[in-house]
Amino acid sequence: MRNAKIVCTLGPASDSTEEITALAEAGMSVARLNASHGTPEQRRDTIDRIRAVDETVDHPVAVMHDIPGPEVRTADIDEPIHLEADSRIRFYQGDDATPEAVGLSLDISAVEAGDRVLLDDGRIETIVEEVDGSDIYARVQNGGELQARKGVNIPGVELGLPTVTEKDREELKVAAEKQADLVAASFVRDGSDIREIAETLREFGADIPIVAKIERAGAVQNLDSIIEEAYGIMVARGDLGVELPLEVVPLYQKRIIRKCNQAGVPVITATEMLDSMVESRRPTRAEASDVANAVLDGTDAVMLSGETAIGNHPPRVVDTMASIVEEVENSEEYEDVRGQRIPEADDSRADALAHAARFLAEDVDATAIVAASESGHSALKMAKFRP
């Protein structure tokens, strides 16, 4: 049994019953639904299919409902447009986009001259020159082709957007109705955001564990308060790599994983882990090393995004990732670092018992540890010490 689990994002290439079954049989433990795309009704139907598959496979398959949060995206256009370098464009809140004016899902008028507005994971860069009410005029530094609904990042700028948008409320209602196992919260800023999302879930009669996605510089700074409030953490390297200098992201990944391990909080490493396999049948050597090193760092799960959502052969990608994880977990290097990562017990009785049980089980070569629990708290405490 693999210690590190595999999270798969479902999409057009993988949301049929047959494909979900194939992913589960290849090693998927968690099916992620990205609420930035599609409709709530589509997610209801997909959750029903996941539950049906869960009944037929030999291991649990959990549902993670990933809500968009206060994200800004470009307009949902039918055809790509090309933004020329050194051209002047206008950003506004709207549903259309041309090479001269790009509509956005939310208002960004809190920006100032000199701020960077990055599109499509930073592939297109613009610099704000003028703010005229809700219209923002910017100069394109790095041009390129812009497709529909691409992410917009404005590093270092607080836009004052609500933690829970109307779209989020609609998605949280679906998560509550369909009893999702996890809710992933996008663009969280601090622990208070997690509390607000949890309160919204309670309004809908649900108490669902929340996984906080770390994808802003501010979230890195407020990591301690987020860890304290969230069930788990996701290192969302895509937006994080746009908000922060690219060269520091690997270091932050290691630091976040280490902090989560010490706190006994599950942590997921995500974004472009096997990205070349969207089209290719084999990963690059760098991608294989990326997955392996995340496992050696102590991640509790590795996540696939476009590889399974829109890729050419999703089950093969999962099978490849499972093989890499298993190879690492059977190595001497893994055993060495695993023993070094066991955190100290705190002053609570539950921590002391779980810590002692972990070493007792190792001494007697126990096959399993049974943590009898009504809430799941004891099982989480046990997992903290990585038996």
User: Which residue in 126, 271, 299, 320 is the catalytic one?
Assistant: 271
What's the one-letter identity of residue 231? Answer: Y
> How many CB atoms are closer than 10 A to CB 355?
19
DSSP code of residue 374: S
Determine whether 163 is an active site residue.
no
**What is the separation, in whole angstroms, between the first and last Cα of the chain?**
13
Determine whether 32 is an active site residue.
yes
User: Which residue in 150, 213, 216, 237 is the catalytic one?
Assistant: 213
User: Which residue in 5, 49, 73, 116 is the catalytic one?
Assistant: 73
Which has the closest alpha carbon to 180: 199, 214, 206, 198? 206
Tokens of 198: 């949890």
Q: Are 28 and 8 in contact (CB under 8 A)?
A: yes
User: Which residue in 5, 32, 150, 381 is the catalytic one?
Assistant: 32
Tokens of 46: 């997909």
Determine whether 271 is an active site residue.
yes
Sign of CA dihedral 102, 107, 113, 119: negative
Torsion of CA 216, 119, 101, 146, to 10 degrees: -150
d(CA 334, CA 296): 6
> How many CB atoms are closer than 10 A to CB 383?
18
| Coil vs helix vs strand at 148 | coil
Which has the closest alpha carbon to 314: 1, 31, 38, 66? 31
**How far apart, in Å, are the Cα atoms of 50 and each of 181, 309, 315, 342?**
12, 15, 15, 34
- Tell me the backbone φ, ψ of residue 157, rounded to 5 degrees: -115, 125
How many residues would you count in the chain? 387
| DSSP labels, 182-228 | EEEETT--SHHHHHHHHHHHHHTT----EEEEE-SHHHHHTHHHHHH
Question: Annotated active-site positions, please?
Answer: 32, 73, 213, 271
